[in-house]
């Protein structure tokens, strides 16, 4: 009888953990664990459109979109974490029209202790349509899914790594993470829009249909060999 009760108790405990792990609250809490990697990027002086975004990779290195950092010799970008700005060195700068990435470094000894020993892994598998993802900015996280580029206008299909949710997800420089493995799938680069006929009389209206992100495979090639 005692063995039966013990086995029943273990089964109930296992079921309880399955419920907890499968609950939306648990999913949200694991999503929020990625917030530690999200930072703001400030140009000098601060850009008129507000702070940009970036993602911490580890070893004092931060990745952002090239157009967020701007022409770094002029903008002197800083990394901002919880309101504190950190001066940066430009490791490598790309270009909006080619590779929309810029890699910045900060003296690791000056960073908050919560970033010590943090390493943000790049995903090794390419994104696939329908794959659930998490977009991450310092203010919070939002879930989305990878969208097939075949759903884009023909002229935009060269941007073949896109997500479908535009209004609710992070803007340029924010991180796109695999929802299951929590590895970095890419860095947000731009919105993709198209003109559509109005429902009534009037001019055609511009609609945002997707967001393109620079994929991890391109980031891996962009990073210095060391």
pTM, to two decimals = 0.84
What are 64-103's pLDDT values in tens digits?
Answer: 999 999 999 999 999 999 999 999 999 999 999 999 999 9
Distance CA 167, CA 112 (A): 31
The torsion defined by the Cα of 141, 146, 147 and 150, in degrees rounded to 10, comes to 150
Can you give the pLDDT of all 226 residues of the chain as single tens digits?
444 444 444 444 443 333 333 444 445 568 999 999 999 999 998 888 778 999 999 999 999 999 999 999 999 999 999 999 999 999 999 999 999 999 999 999 999 999 988 899 999 999 999 999 999 999 999 999 999 999 998 888 999 999 999 989 999 999 999 999 999 999 999 999 888 877 767 788 888 899 999 999 999 999 998 6
Distance CA 170, CA 194 (A): 20
Q: Are 52 and 64 in contact (CB under 8 A)?
A: yes
- Looking at the domain that runs over 132-222, which CATH code has it been given? 2.40.10
Token couple for 37: 């990697």
Q: Which residues contact 61 (CB under 8 A, 6 or more apart)?
A: 91, 103, 104, 105
Domain segments of the chain: what residues?
Answer: 35-115, 132-222
- Looking at the domain that runs over 35-115, which CATH code has it been given? 2.40.10.10
Distance CA 201, CA 203 (A): 7
Distance CA 54, CA 165 (A): 19
User: 132-222: same fold as 35-115?
Assistant: yes
Q: Are 29 and 6 in contact (CB under 8 A)?
A: no
């Amino acid at each position: 009888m005692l063995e039966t009760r013990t086995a029943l108790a273990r089964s109930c405990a296992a079921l309880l953990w399955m419920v907890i792990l499968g609950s939306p609250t648990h999913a949200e809490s694991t999503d929020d664990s990625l917030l530690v990697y999200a930072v703001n990027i400030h140009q000098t002086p601060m850009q008129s459109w507000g702070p940009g975004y970036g993602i911490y990779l580890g070893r004092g290195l931060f990745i952002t979109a090239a157009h967020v950092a701007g022409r770094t010799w002029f903008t002197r970008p800083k990394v901002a974490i919880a309101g504190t700005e950190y001066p940066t060195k430009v490791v490598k700068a790309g270009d909006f029209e080619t590779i929309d990435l810029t890699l910045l470094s900060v003296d690791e000894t000056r960073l908050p202790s919560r970033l010590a020993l943090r390493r943000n892994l790049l995903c090794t598998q390419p994104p696939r349509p329908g794959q659930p993802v998490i977009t991450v900015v310092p203010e919070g996280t939002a879930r989305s899914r990878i969208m097939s580029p075949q759903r884009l206008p023909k002229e935009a299909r060269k941007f073949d790594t896109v997500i479908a949710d535009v209004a609710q997800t992070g803007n340029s420089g924010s991180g796109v993470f695999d929802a299951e493995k929590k590895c970095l799938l890419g860095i947000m680069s731009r919105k993709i829009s198209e003109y559509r006929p109005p429902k009534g009389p009037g001019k055609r209206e511009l609609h945002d249909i997707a967001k393109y992100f620079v994929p991890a495979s391109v980031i891996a090639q962009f990073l210095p060999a060391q």
